[in-house]
Chains A and B, each alone.
Chain A
Amino acid sequence: AQSVAQPEDQVNVAEGNPLTVKCTYSVSGNPYLFWYVQYPNRGLQFLLKYITGDNLVKGSYGFEAEFNKSQTSFHLKKPSALVSDSALYFCAVRDLTGGFKTIFGAGTRLFVKA
C-alpha cells in the first residue's frame, strides 16, 4: 500500500534563511510525487511534481524539491524563505499500480519569522 509521511508538524525558519520541509513515501511501483501549498481559508495549490528524469525539480514561488530514490524521500526546499511562504504544505504520492488515487501526507505548517 502506498503511504506518505511528513515527520514534522511544524517548521520554523527566519526570513532569508533556507528552508526544508521533509517528506518520505512508500509505494510498490514508480512514484509520481507532488507538493501542494495551502494558504489560510483557501484550497490547495499545486507547487511542483516529480515524474521522471532530473532528481531536482523546480516549481512555483522559487520552491524546489529533491527526489532521492534510495532514501524514498522528496524534500521541499527553498534557498531563501519569505514571510509570505508561511502556510501549510502537503506532500502527495501517486502510484500508478494503485490506480489514479493520490495519497496526501498529514501536512507541515511552515512559519517564517521576519
Chain B
Amino acid sequence: EADIYQTPRYLVIGTGKKITLECSQTMGHDKMYWYQQDPGMELHLIHYSYGVNSTEKGDLSSESTVSRIRTEHFPLTLESARPSHTSQYLCASSESGGASGEQFFGPGTRLTVL
C-alpha cells in the first residue's frame, strides 16, 4: 500500500546528541518536504527536495540538514540537539509535473530534547 512513514514516532534525548529522523514514502513522489510544528500550531517549512540529489532550505531557518540519495528516502539530521529543537517534525511528499500538488503527510515525529 502506498504510504509515507516516519520513525521514530516519539524521541526523547539529551542535549548535544546527534539524531536522524527517518522519512520514507512508497508513493513514487519526486517532491518531499520537512515541516516543523509546535503542538497545535502552524506549520513551518524547513527543508524540501525536488528529487534525488536536490535539497533546499525552507522558510524557517533550521540547524538541521537533509539528504536525498534515493527517491523514497528523505532523512533529517540534527548534529547536536538542543532544547530549542523540541517540536513535532512532519514529513510530506507530493507528485511532480502538472499534478495539483496536494501533499501527503506522515504521522510525525515528536522530539523532546532535555
Contacts and interface: CB of A to CB of B under 8 A. Distances in A.
Contacts of B92: 43-44
A22 interface: no
Main secondary structure of the interface of A (DSSP, over half): strand
A104 B31 CA distance: 17
Nearest to B6: A43
B101 A32 contact: yes
Contact of A107 (B31, B41, B45, B107): B41
Interface residues of B, number: 22
A63 to B, nearest CB: 14
B101 A46 contact: no
Interface residues of A, number: 22
B106 A43 contact: yes
Interface in B24-50: 31, 40-43, 45, 48, 50
A45 interface: yes
Contact of A42 (B48, B94, B103, B107): B107
22 contacts: A36-B105, A41-B110, A43-B92, A43-B107, A44-B43, A44-B92, A44-B105, A45-B105, A46-B102, A46-B104, A49-B100, A49-B102, A51-B100, A88-B40, A90-B42, A94-B101, A101-B45, A102-B103, A106-B41, A107-B40, A107-B41, A109-B40
Interface of B: 6, 31, 40-43, 45, 48, 50, 90, 92, 94, 100-108, 110
